[in-house]
Amino acid sequence: MNTRVNKHIALITGVTGQDGSFLSEFLLDKGYDVHGIIRRSSVDFRQRIAHLEGRPHFHLHYGDITDSMAVLQIVSKVQPTEIYNLAAQSHVQVSFDAPEYTANADATGVLRILEAVRQCGLTATCRIYQASTSELYGKVEQVPQNEQTPFHPYSPYAVAKLYGYWIVREYREAYGMYCCSGILFNHESERRGETFVTRKITLAAARIAQGKQDCLYLGNLSSLRDWGYARDYVECMWLILQQDKADDFVVATGEQHSVREFCQRAFRHAGIELEFRGEGADETGICIGVSGNADPRLVGRTLVEVSPDFYRPTDVVNLWGDPTKARRLLGWNPQRTSFDELIRIMVDHDMAEVAADDAAARVRTNLAEYLEKGIVK
């Protein structure tokens, strides 16, 4: 039997990721002590949480979800009341190249968290959220997808995540643990990794509009996704752990769009009107008009091309979530940020980031010139 305690101590694995950074902000605002697990790296990878470091209730611990000893040690030290297991090799395409590592992090990693809680004697006081995914529906057998829809995982990533989903259910039933899966559909933001399709598009739209890139190469333009805003989704993760009874929830907007449509709208927001012509690998996106500060010489040029390099051995092409249960039982609003608003947030951010990079590069060039001319020492 899991009882609610008055202390609010959260442990977040994957704290440096898109969701981990938003969730940290959300929980700190709610008065939690937030502990995050980070991996040692030779380069700086903490941009998303840099603004939180040094805050009195924010603590970081070195560890890795593939390392049982480290996980056990951190859980024992932190004595969390809530664990959010967000750590994962989260890129579907990469999972085809690194299937064994993906299984270790995304499947066995979940088991390590559950076992650490058991070994530390925290089953009665600690609740666990598992970052599950709409990729479980994979080669979809029903549209839209809800909590009853059969799973048909269609990548090494999805197969690993399916183990995570089932081991959470098993520990809930076998040991009465309060552990839940949020089956989250794609959620994006200005902090999204740059190789996921939405962020790749918004960055390219910004660079092309500012003359910094010639063309964007994409894979399957017809793929359909239910895209929401990550900042809204972390609230739902928290709500899932505040219920009387542990349960699993689909988290989605209930709207579906294609990669092509995302692309068209993102470019439009950057001042570039695209028309798609052709089919399959021969499809191209051509500029048919510009507005704002976009360069009029772009008109008539091919700005988007398909590259089979971005095709996947098996691709999930029809994700569309039904968030009825989350809306009804958690009181969560799936439509807080609209699709257009999400694109606006991402493109505005990337337009500013590309312009700032430009300004920084200009300062560097000027500085180099001044140093060369002896103007500054």
The 74-103 site mask, x for binding ligand NAP (CB under 6 A), equals ------------xxxxx-------------
Residue 148, phi then psi, degrees to nearest 5: -95, -10
Contact 154, 315 (CB under 8 A): yes
Q: Site for ligand G4F (CB under 6 A): which residue of 139, 257, 301, 312? A: 312
What is the three-class DSSP state of 21?
helix
Question: What residues from 249 to 278 belong to the interface with ligand G4F (CB under 6 A)?
Answer: 259
- Do residues 208 and 274 lie in contact, with contact meaning Cβ atoms separated by under 8 Å? no
**Residue in 146, 310, 314, 327 binding ligand G4F, rule: CB under 6 A:** 310
Q: Does position 197 bind ligand G4F by CB under 6 A?
A: yes
Partner that binds at residue 92, options ligand NAP, ligand G4F, none, CB closer than 5 to 8 Å by kind:
ligand G4F
- Comparison of 299 and 317: residue with beta carbon closer to ligand NAP: 317
Integer Cα distance of 235 and 295 in angstroms: 40
Find which of ligand G4F, ligand NAP, none residue 336 binds, CB within 5 to 8 Å per kind.
Answer: none
Question: 109: which DSSP letter?
Answer: H
- In angstroms, how far is the first alpha carbon of the chain from the final one? 69
Catalytic residues: 133, 135, 157
3-state DSSP assignment of residue 55: coil
Does residue 281 touch ligand G4F according to CB under 6 A? no
The beta strands (E) that lie in 66-147 are given as 82-85, 127-133
* Residue span binding ligand G4F (CB under 6 A) among the ranges 216-224, 241-249, 267-275, 280-288: 216-224
105 binds, among ligand G4F, ligand NAP, none (CB under 5 to 8 A by kind): ligand NAP
Q: Which amino acid type is present at position 189? A: S
Answer for which of 26, 163, 166, 196 binds ligand G4F (CB under 6 A) is 196
How far is CA 23 from each of CA 30, 61, 83, 198, 254, rounded to the nearest angstrom?
Answer: 11, 17, 12, 21, 22
Q: Are 301 and 287 in contact (CB under 8 A)?
A: yes
Of 223, 253, 318, 337, the one binding ligand G4F (CB under 6 A) is 223
Listed in sequence order, the residues at least 6 apart from 210 whose beta carbon sits closer than 8 Å to its beta carbon are 351, 354, 355, 358
Q: Say if residue 35 is exposed, middle or buried (CB neighbours under 10 Å; 0-12, 13-18, 19+).
A: buried
Does 16 help bind ligand NAP (rule: CB under 6 A)?
A: yes
Shortest gap between Cβ of 20 and ligand NAP (angstroms)?
A: 5
Reading the block at residue 361, the tokens are 């590069």
> Applying CB under 6 A, does 218 fall inside the site for ligand G4F?
yes
Contact partner at residue 64 from ligand NAP, ligand G4F, none, CB < 5 to 8 Å by partner kind = ligand NAP
Could you give the string, one character per residue 125-154, with x where binding to ligand G4F holds by CB under 6 A and - elsewhere?
Answer: --------xxx-------------------
Q: Enumerate binding residues for ligand G4F (CB under 6 A).
A: 90, 92-93, 133-135, 185-186, 195-197, 200, 218-220, 223, 225, 259, 310, 312, 315-316, 319
